Amino acid sequence: MPELPEVETVKRGLESAIVKKRIVSVRINRYDLRVPIPDDFGQNLTGKTIENLKRRGKYIVLFMGEKTSAILHLGMSGRIHIIHPDEDYITQKHDHVILTMEDGTLVAFEDPRRFGMFYTIANDWTKDRAFLSMGPEPLENWSGNDLYKKLKHKKTIVKTALLDQRVVAGLGNIYVCEALYMAKIHPERRACDLSKEEAVRLVEASKTVLLRAIEAGGSTLKDYKKTDGSLGYFQYQFSVYDQEGHTCRDQYCDGTIERIVQAGRSTFYCARCQV
DNA sequence: CAAAGCTCCTGACCGC
DNA sequence: TGCGGTCAGGAGCTTT
């Protein structure tokens, strides 16, 4: 379930492997992802040099000049495998796309559930529909005031509002739970009922949670690569996510972590200290 | 327009 | 051991 920290970790891993290198071939094993890979995908990428990488929300943009960018989203189960020129690699069952770089580095996009996206665009990537109504980057100039103003006229519950990528980019089910816990805000609160102070707290908590997770991703990245060469999943100790029945981690709280379902998704929270 | 509901997909897990 | 059922969830689409 890649959210912002996992995507950022993947992007950092890709950085040294492919930036400033030319793509010499593109192998596409299947086109029928949930959003199909365009027919001209391979043609558009072959021969191009990746100038830089950008992350926006849960997307990674491979920038190859003003006229070509590739846009990657890992969906639910997407992974990137980086295979160095001297390494052997057995193609995985769900490796849908494999890029070969000029130095022999392979980049495999594996995605069993096929919820991911990989496509090219022929103009300014910021104009792509994925980014048109996307909210602010949480780690860049996201303020409590901005969140407060956005939530003020939202009738939905705060948990669901934070999952909406138009409100803020990059949060998913796990980090929304974690951020609400850290901010001590109950997930069933109506978004429009949050005070300015609570919005400020929620923004600060979100930033802290995301930064810590990125840090954890970065530190475990090397160990993970040693074992199977893949990138993107890390060890991060969740306070509430998937912790149903555990005692609240707050030393002054003796509550128990509960699980409820909101809009069809699990929410984990402490019913005692999140109010 | 917002909000809620449904859908896509496979692998992991559980109970029998 | 196998088998059926359930669950996981990002985002696009449809419905209300």
Q: What is the pLDDT of residues A67-117, one digit of tens each?
A: 999 999 999 899 999 999 999 999 989 999 999 999 999 999 999 999 999
Positions on chain C within 7 A of a protein C-beta: 7-12
Number of residues that make up chain A: 275
The burial class, CB within 10 Å (0-12 / 13-18 / 19+), for A124 is exposed
Verdict on whether the full-model pTM lies above 0.75:
yes
Name which of A66-80, A113-127, A182-196, A215-229 the model is least confident about. A215-229
Helices A196-228 and A4-18 cross at an angle (nearest 10°) of: 40
Cβ of A132 less than 7 A from strand B: no
Residue from A7, A56, A46, A57 nearest A24 by CA? A46
| Per-residue confidence (pLDDT) for residue A237, from 0 to 100 | 82
The rounded mean pLDDT for chain A is 91
Name which of A51-55, A201-205, A225-229 the model is least confident about. A225-229
CA atoms within 13 A on the CB side of A90: 2
d(C-alpha A253, C-alpha A258), whole Å: 14
Residues 154-173 of A with CB under 7 A from strand C: 163, 165, 172-173
Residues 221-260 of A with CB under 7 A from strand C: none
CA of A102 to C1' of B16 (A): 54
CA of A34 to C1' of B5 (A): 19
User: Is it the case that residue A14 has pLDDT exceeding 80?
Assistant: yes
Calculate the dihedral angle through the C-alpha atoms of A186, A208, A233, A116, rounding to the nearest 10 degrees: 70
Positions of A annotated as catalytic residues are: 2-3, 58, 265
pLDDT tens-place string over residues A137-192: 999 989 999 999 999 999 999 999 999 999 999 999 999 999 999 999 999 999 99
User: Is it the case that residue A229 has pLDDT exceeding 70?
Assistant: no
CA of A264 to C1' of C6 (A): 14
| Per-residue confidence (pLDDT) for residue A235, from 0 to 100 | 61
Predicted confidence band of residue A218 (pLDDT cuts 50, 70, 90): low
Residues 211-230 of A with CB under 7 A from strand B: none
C-alpha distances out from residue A99 to A24, A71, A159, A203, Å = 8, 14, 38, 38
Cβ of A115 less than 7 A from strand C: yes
- The answer for residues whose C-beta is within 8 angstroms of residue A200's C-beta and 6 or more apart is A143, A144, A145, A148
d(C-alpha A108, C-alpha A123), whole Å: 25
The answer to whether A265 and A242 have CB atoms below 8 angstroms apart is no
Predicted confidence band of residue A219 (pLDDT cuts 50, 70, 90): low
| Per-residue confidence (pLDDT) for residue A231, from 0 to 100 | 44
Residues 65-104 of A with CB under 7 A from strand C: 73, 75-77
> Which nucleotide, over all strands, has the C1' atom closest to the CA of A130?
C11
| Per-residue confidence (pLDDT) for residue A217, from 0 to 100 | 77
d(C-alpha A137, C-alpha A146), whole Å: 12
Helices A144-152 and A196-228 cross at an angle (nearest 10°) of: 110
C-alpha distances out from residue A107 to A17, A104, A229, Å = 8, 10, 10
Residue A78 tokens, joined = 């997407």
| Per-residue confidence (pLDDT) for residue A230, from 0 to 100 | 45
d(C-alpha A60, C-alpha A38), whole Å: 17
CA of A50 to C1' of B7 (A): 34
